[in-house]
Amino acid sequence: MTVLLLLYLCADATRTDCQVLPAQLWQGRDAYEQCIGAVPGLTEALTAPNRNRHRFVCEVQPDSEQSVRHQAKPAFIHQSFRM
């Protein structure tokens, strides 16, 4: 599993205008847990006003085989039935 730590840099507290920056990457079985464990310390390091505007998000990235499977679409089969 691959997990990205994304930093959402937002112009204001409404978080409607944000720029997303990848901050760190983890790989392996416990990647998500490592990312979640890093978020509180990083959030605490922000100044109080920035905590209201910016946020850290852990996002699981699909492995290459899985992404291919999710992108593959079933073939359309045309059938006609007569009664």
Rg of the chain (C-alpha set): 20
Q: Nearest to residue 58, comparing CAs of 75, 81, 42, 77? A: 42
Q: Looking at the domain assignment, is residue 57 inside a domain?
A: yes
Q: Looking at the domain assignment, is residue 82 inside a domain?
A: no
Q: Looking at the domain assignment, is residue 41 inside a domain?
A: yes
pTM for this predicted structure: 0.67
Q: Looking at the domain assignment, is residue 56 inside a domain?
A: yes
Domain extent, residue 8, equals 2-62
**Residue 73, pLDDT above cutoff 50:** no
Q: Looking at the domain assignment, is residue 39 inside a domain?
A: yes
Residues 23-38: tens digit of each pLDDT = 999 999 999 999 999 9
Cβ contact 49:13 at 8 Å: no
Q: Looking at the domain assignment, is residue 30 inside a domain?
A: yes
Residues 36-60: tens digit of each pLDDT = 999 999 999 999 989 889 999 999 9
In the chain, the number of structural domains is 1
Band of the pLDDT at 64, cuts 50, 70, 90? Answer: low
